Chains A and B, each alone.
Chain A
């Protein structure tokens, strides 16, 4: 079988323009497919990172926008398997002018002592961490946020409250590095809490929980929710991965969206490839006759033509996947990256899927013309004038 490879490659290259155009066309579409598959894979199929696998988020069962009582924290801490817990509050607020979407970034009120114990993947110099813990009005920000607004240690950041009253004067005490996009600001929740009216002091947005081991995570989650089942405020505890996903699904039916575009792209690639192969086979019917006279069997011919289609579409698939890695790393670095699960730019399973799809498309697109050519009688083929 392998001895036909030189022949297959030569055949591919006989009409260079057509082959090039087909490879580009397939490659561009496969690039899109690669991006979509990488996003899909990251959202629905990938395992959580080792850090994420240990974390749970507890929120109010009604919705994320309704708070839960702060005193729940003490009860959750008693649950076996819970290592650390801290309250976390989404502080919407306005930086400069909210009408310019560039000024939007995530702002959370947290517990400075616990934060870096729970988010173990965040890297920050020890002295900056201590400075954040000591300064009640301090804040730590992600490297990406610091770069975007050119913030430095000691800079003042003023946020105007909307969900919460008053303005927040914060001093940058630390800048941390994160494996993910980090346009985010964390400050000491206690600082805002002490200024709240009495009625609102007792509530907080979510609890972020770190568990002892991945094995206990799901049990801890159900224990927490069962514990508050008959309380006035019920909770919903989910893994950090599921929680992040719920955020992305706010955009709408993402799964359906990705599926339908993938289907359209694959079908387009199939059409392009089938068209090329049909044209290519049609113009060498006579040659097939000659090959058969030389002793090539129908099976050989079938294989040579199928092989040619596969070489072209796999080349397109490989180029497409390589192109897609640039685009996926672009998505990861875009501001949306903070709200998406981490997308790996070079994911072996996505690469394999791209090549596999290309292979299947190559085979299925060329089967009909290849089958036809392999079955044409010699005399008829030799007589063909086309």
Chain B
């Protein structure tokens, strides 16, 4: 690789990392404001104009707090766990294409950090690693609440990752590629060429599974504060706790970006050919991606303040007895349709 290519990659990595962290901050602020608005309150509005500096104030507070490591914990694992959760959460965004190609310095630059040819597998693998962070945190804390939180998270993962994977399989069947770029390219053109219109059932299953994957309400059983104090992060404090916090939001961002990429045409704007518009096309595609992602991030918060938490057996029942058969049936129908059309 030449020097310019290396610099471009470095810039892209930094850009994506900074954008993700900034979105995490915005999400922490948005979560508090939106929840307040939905409850008829105003929420934090004192730090900076309309309170937008609140997450920074919170961050400073986290840094200043004493970092407590309880006596009975398994120290190396206890320290490792937040990193195991946060790093995959930040890494996942690397394969997601967030805009059409841009031409700079006489070369075409894809707006994507790494064009992995098994992009979806990479995403699924990394989100699975993230759950290890939760399980390790739960186990190493040497506390019953943390352990229960970790256990629940593990069980939840097994039952939902399956349905999520199967929902994704039907998308892969349509596009014929595991590459996220190909999936986006496959959805370009009309509004109805977006996968959400071709695969509505897969979309609903994927969306529900994503909420379980990111440990958000109505599936936040691993940190159900009414029953488990704080779940897996009960024993954590200061910067380690804030790492769990950031990881949760980073996971949400990745999940929203993935939903957009798989079902809502990625950076695609219907009826417009972005690649023919040059720099404006790129800007248009990036803003369309951000807009779509913003909607799904808002949906995360919106759903959180609307639905009550599932009971544990209900969660399992939904995962194994409802979503799994429907996802399998959906694959069967999709495959059958594709085979028949190929024969004709």
Please say whether chains A and B are actual partners in one complex: no
Q: Which residues in B have some Cβ–Cβ distance to A below 8 Å?
A: none
